[in-house]
Amino acid sequence: MHLKPLHRVLVERRAPQHFSDPPPPDGVLQMILHAGLQAHSAYRVQPARFVVVRDSRKRARLRRAAFNEPCVGEAPVVIVAFGRRDQWRDALGEAFPLDVPAERLGTNRPDTVRPRASDTVERTPIRVWLHRHVTMAFTCMMLTAEALGWDTTLIERFDPTSVATTLSLPTDAEVVAMLAIGRATSVDLPEHDSRSLNHLVYSERYGEPWEG
C-alpha cells in the first residue's frame, strides 16, 4: 500500500466541505484507528475513546449537532473522539497493576508511578488534560488517513450534548472533536494561508524573532 510522505501530507492537506459516497475499506479504517493507539500518552493512560459512525441516519443527526456542517452528513465515515472525566484512575490501574511482579516492571513500579501520574493529572483541569491527550491521538489518525490517500475534515464546532445523546455516550464523556473521512468532491480546494515562521516562532523568549 502506497503511503504519501509526511511532509507532503502536511503541505498538501486541505479540509473539504463536501464528500462523495465511497467509504474507506475496512483495512484502511483499521490502520487509521490503530494510529490513534500509537499516539503519545503520558503514563500510558490513553484516555481517548472513539466512536466510528457509518450509519447515514446517525450521520444526519451528527450533522444537525454540528450546526448543519455538510461534510458530517456527506462523508461516509465520521469518527467522534471523546474522553471520560471519571475513568483516568481506572486506566492508570490497568497500565500499572499492583499485582505485577516488580522485576517485570523495572523502574516503572506501580507504587512510584501511580503517585506521579496522579499528581500530573490533578495539576491540570481535567477537561484540559483530556482534550490534550485526545487531540494527540486524533491528530495521528487524521494524518494517517491523509497518508493513505483519504481526505479528512476536523470538526470542532458542535453541540456536545446532542452528540453525546446521539451516540449514547456515558455521562462523564467529554466530546472533543469529530473527523469526517472520505473522498473530497471539491476540485479547487483553497490554498493554505500559512504565516511565515517569524510570525509564529520566537527565539529563547517571547518577542525575540526566530531567525533560523
Q: What is the pLDDT of residue 189?
A: 61
Q: Which residue has the cell 504519501?
A: 4
Domain annotation covers residue 6: no
pLDDT of residue 188: 56
Confidence of residue 37 (pLDDT cuts 50, 70, 90): very high
Average pLDDT of the residues in 131-156: 95
Q: How many CA atoms lie within 13 A of 59 on its CB side?
A: 20
pLDDT at position 98 over 80: no
Confidence of residue 11 (pLDDT cuts 50, 70, 90): confident
In this predicted structure, what is the pLDDT of residue 145? 96
Range name among 53-57, 110-114, 160-164, 187-191 with the lowest pLDDT average: 187-191
pLDDT > 90? residue 46: no
Q: 150: which 3 cell numbers?
A: 483519504
Selected residue with higher pLDDT from 66 and 116: 66
Assess if residue 84 is contained within a domain.
Answer: yes
Number of domains making up the chain: 1
Residue pair 66/158 in contact by the 8 Å Cβ criterion: yes
- Classify residue 3: in a domain, yes or no: no
Q: Does 111 reside within a domain?
A: no
Least confident of 33-42, 81-90, 168-177, 182-191: 182-191
What is residue 77's predicted lDDT score, i.e. its pLDDT?
A: 98
Q: Which tops the pLDDT comparison, 79 or 107?
A: 79
pLDDT of residue 192: 65
Mean pLDDT of 160-164: 98
42 burial type by CB count under 10 A (0-12 exposed, 13-18 middle, 19+ buried): middle
Q: Is 160's pLDDT higher than 80?
A: yes
107 domain residue, yes or no: no
> Does the pLDDT of residue 112 top 80, yes or no?
no
Quick one: which H or E segment has residue 84? strand 77-84
Dihedrals phi, psi of 83, to nearest 5 degrees? -135, 165
| Average pLDDT of the chain to the nearest whole number | 88
pTM of the model: 0.86
Tell me, yes or no, whether 99 lies in a domain.
Answer: no
Structural domain includes residue 163: yes
Lowest mean pLDDT among 152-156, 174-178, 183-187: 183-187
- Give pLDDT, residue 49: 95
Q: Is residue 174 part of a domain?
A: yes
Look up the CATH number of the domain holding residue 154.
Answer: 3.40.109.10
Domain limits at 29? 24-89+125-185
**Which own/partner contact pairs does 8-15 have at CB distance under 8 Å and 24+ positions apart?**
9/143, 9/146, 9/147, 10/143, 11/192, 13/146, 13/152, 14/151, 14/184, 14/189, 14/190, 14/192, 15/152, 15/153, 15/154
